[in-house]
Structure 1
Amino acid sequence: MQILRQRRGMNRTVLAGLIGMSPSWVKRVENGQLQTPGLEMILRIAEALRVRDLSDLTGYLAGHTSLFTGPGHPRLAAVQDAVNAYPLTTRQEAPPAEHLRARLARAWSARHSAPNHRDVVGQLLPDLIRDAQLAVRQADTAVDRRTAQAALAEVYSLSQFFLAYQPDPSLLWRVAERGMVAAQESEDPHAIGVAAWLAAEAHRDSGPGHYDAADTVTMETLEYLRPLAPDASDDVRAITGALTVAAGYTAARRGDTGTAWRHWDTAREMADRLPADYYHPVTSFSRAIMGAHAVTVAVELHAGGESVRQAARAEAEVIPSRPRRARHRIEQARGYQLDGQPDVALATLAQAYEAAPETIRYNGYARRIVLEETEAASPDRRRRASDLAVRIGVLAA
């Protein structure tokens, strides 16, 4: 635990706050003065330290348990091949820009509407990646090239949703960096905002050592976008709001309550200025999503009571995107778990599974809660947790 904590650049006080214990307790565990904690606490420590395999923390190599990286999706290899390919000698002609945009729109629609959204997107991505790359290479004018770069950046954005929680983090980072470069080359404010939002997500999910990088990309992009807001499209104003929420998430991860809620308040004001039925096609930013964002801010602050209060106010049914609705259910479950309501947490995760099985299957937080409850004292809760664990692939049938 001490080695992993120090690798994260985290002192004992920070780790203690994240797991709800005292710094002296952390010190005694690290010095071997206390017995090995129970499974619930081990999983809590693993979450705080962003341990990807439980054996890295426990030293028990015979039983690998992946926590934050889900099992590789069956279509991962095809997407890897498409990202890694450099078809310099192909004679294939790039599709027209309008055709590529229409395919991208259908792909985003499928991602939001299909319960097996990773499977659908994974099937579409290889051809989209290849054709978007060809469109950039074969552009005849500067304007055409910028248009093609914007489309390529969007394809890379879609790729990042597929690659999240997959067992190839280096591929995710390559795609994130290529997406940012393509967006900058496009000079399109919306493309730049989306690429920055995804880069900030990747940095924040990489642990405390990357929080500064997440803040840097978020704040610099907001500084670029905010002056454009008065005359900008709804999409540009929405990505500005989504980036503001992202800043709040990072502040919450740091435990900075005031800053986290201040960013949320600012983002809510931005959402209120959007049309009532507007829904951003990439980030889901909208009026409807602000309740879900409030739940996540409270959860990231490890405020169990506030998480439950926000969960009671936030309606999942108003979120049109199935994977985003499932993610909201997972965040609600995290809140109920923090508040000592494991039965409600399990029931909420079951609702997440109904909304989008592939979202919960590849979400590390959901897997942690389910795995923890398979060891619960209550036989009924153990049974329900075990049933759900089998469905999401944590346990074998």
Structure 2
Amino acid sequence: MPTPDETVARAIGERIQNIRTRTGKTREVVAGLVGRSEDWLRDVEKGRLKNPPALDVLLRLGQALGVRDLTEITGDHELLVGIARRAGHPVVPDIREAIESVDLSPAASPIDAVELRARVERAWRLWHTSATPRADAGAMLPQLIRDGRRAVRTLDGEERRAAAAALSGAYALSEQVLAWVADAPLLWLAADRCMSSAETADDPVTLASASWVLGNVWRATGREDDAYRLATDAVALLEPRLDGDQEAQALWGACHLHGAITAAKIGREGDALRGIDQAMGMARALPAGSAHPWTLFGVANAEVSAVSVQVELRKSGGALDAASIVDPDAVPSVDRRARLWLELSRAYAQQRDWLGTLGALRTATSVSEESMRSHPLARSLAVELVTHGGRITERQSRALAGQLGVTC
């Protein structure tokens, strides 16, 4: 007969699995967010542990699953623990304050919409070029968001629409910075504000850009079908502007890449490969060096996305083949360069090639340790290396896990 603790552990595990399944999150992602292995989470969900996880672990699980009240997991209505707010990086509280606060005071001086846009674009360049993008770009965002909100409130006509487009860009960057290090409600709010500002700007390119951002959030939170439809709608919105408008052309290609990765996550291989082909055709047609400031769409970006598509389709051999033609130094974003190596690490892990997994993940970490510490897939892979890599990689795997802030 099961002990009381075993019965409680089984009930908690069932609730965790039900919440995870309902929200469309994979074991790999949830386990990575709490710094544990996929096998450990499977044991938790199946009630194979003699005792339920400790409170601090339950809190991290609640954060990863996006629950607002820990009783959704524990079922103990006497235990009320608010866990909605999460700060997995020092920049999160200040960005949260800028997004959530209400400031009705007039601007101390007029805010120039053109200058506001230039500041937003500088922040995006910093995001793409820094090895610590969250720390560096994130530090610029609170004031950008405050100034953008005041500009939209105080300007009129075309200036107001231009300010709204710039503010949409600031919210879009905040979504990138907050992903995986903030709670789901704050991430959703940033994406919603991004789209709302784009609607105020009333510009097809800005609306499609915001759709790219919102689609990223939908894809990450289990709404892949909605995300794919949104990417398709954004492509259609841009179609009339493709003749001679390089920004629209680049964003059209970026939306195809977003749709391709989303289609791959839900097993629609034909749509995924077709999206990569269409995006690559546009990338090759654009002048060298041209890029949308948010997405940095281009040939190298399309090649990295092709690797991601193969990994999502669990075709590890195809992912390694796709990666063989990518020049990492040509990838214009440090964060995405690190992501390329992370995708290679995932491909090697699918083949149970733990030496390859370790080597690729170490390279990803050397490119941007901050990005890998923040990404649940990197943290999950670090745990998998320790638990499955064997004696030959154990010492190096434990050192890497510690570098990524994971306790094994």
TM over 0.5: yes
1:292 to 300, 304, 309: 304
Instruction: Give distance in 1, aligned partners of 2:230 and 2:131.
Output: 32
1:2 positional shift:
6.2
Consecutive unaligned residues in structure 2, runs of 5 or more: 1-12, 28-35, 65-85
Instruction: Give distance in 1, aligned partners of 2:41 and 2:344.
Output: 18
Instruction: Give distance in 2, aligned partners of 1:241 and 1:59.
Output: 47
Is 1:201 aligned to 2:220, yes or no?
no
Find the residue that maps to 2:57 and give its secondary structure: coil
Cα shift readout 1:307-366 (whole Å, capped 9, x = no counterpart): 222222222121021111111111111111112212111111111112111111111111
Instruction: Give distance in 2, aligned partners of 1:390 and 1:60.
Output: 21
Is 1:163 aligned to 2:182, yes or no?
no
Instruction: Give distance in 1, aligned partners of 2:48 and 2:116.
Output: 44
Instruction: Give distance in 1, aligned partners of 2:96 and 2:197.
Output: 19
Kept in 2: contact 1:326–1:356 (CA 8 A): yes
Give 1:60's aligned residue: 53
Cα shift readout 1:72-111 (whole Å, capped 9, x = no counterpart): 1112111111111111124522432232122222211211
Is 1:215 aligned to 2:228, yes or no?
yes
Instruction: Give distance in 2, aligned partners of 1:79 and 1:297.
Output: 32
2:115 to 94, 99, 103: 99
Find the residue that maps to 2:360 and give its secondary structure: helix
Alpha carbons of 1:221 and 1:230: their partners in 2 closer, same or farther (altered >3 Å)?
same
Give 1:152's aligned residue: 167
1:216 positional shift:
2.5
Find the residue that maps to 2:286 and give its secondary structure: coil
Cα shift readout 1:30-72 (whole Å, capped 9, x = no counterpart): xxxxxxxx955456899xx9xxxx999x942356285895961
Find the residue that maps to 2:401 and give its secondary structure: helix
Find the residue that maps to 2:387 and give its secondary structure: coil
1:227 positional shift:
2.1
Instruction: Give distance in 2, aligned partners of 1:322 and 1:164.
Output: 16
1:77 to 93, 107, 115: 93
1:7 positional shift:
4.9
Within-5 A mapping of 1:117-266: 117-139=133-155, 141-207=156-222, 210-231=223-244, 233-266=245-278
How many positions carry a matched residue from both structures?
A: 363
1:368 positional shift:
0.4
Query: RCO higher in 1 or 2 (8 Å CA, sep ≥ 6)?
Result: 2
Alpha carbons of 1:59 and 1:263: their partners in 2 closer, same or farther (altered >3 Å)?
farther
Instruction: Give distance in 1, aligned partners of 2:165 and 2:37.
Output: 47
Find the residue that maps to 1:252 and give its secondary structure: helix
Cα shift readout 1:193-214 (whole Å, capped 9, x = no counterpart): 111001111101112xx12221
Instruction: Give distance in 2, aligned partners of 1:172 and 1:145.
Output: 25
1:190 positional shift:
2.1
Consecutive unaligned residues in structure 1, runs of 5 or more: 20-37
* TM norm structure 2: 0.81
Give 1:327's aligned residue: 339
Find the residue that maps to 2:299 and give its secondary structure: coil
Give 1:116's aligned residue: 132
Give 1:33's aligned residue: none
Kept in 2: contact 1:248–1:297 (CA 8 A): yes
Within-5 A mapping of 1:312-351: 312-351=324-363
Kept in 1: contact 2:354–2:389 (CA 8 A): no
RMSD (CA atoms): 3.0
* TM norm structure 1: 0.83
Cα shift readout 1:216-256 (whole Å, capped 9, x = no counterpart): 3212222211122124x212111111111111111111112
Instruction: Give distance in 2, aligned partners of 1:98 and 1:39.
Output: 48
Cα shift readout 1:168-194 (whole Å, capped 9, x = no counterpart): 110111111111111121122221111
1:280 positional shift:
2.7
2:291 to 279, 284, 291: 279
Alpha carbons of 1:59 and 1:239: their partners in 2 closer, same or farther (altered >3 Å)?
farther
Give 2:33's aligned residue: none
Find the residue that maps to 2:200 and give its secondary structure: helix
Runs of 4+ in 1 over 6 A off after TM superposition: none
Kept in 1: contact 2:107–2:150 (CA 8 A): no
Instruction: Give distance in 2, aligned partners of 1:62 and 1:114.
Output: 36
Alpha carbons of 1:142 and 1:63: their partners in 2 closer, same or farther (altered >3 Å)?
closer
Instruction: Give distance in 2, aligned partners of 1:93 and 1:55.
Output: 62
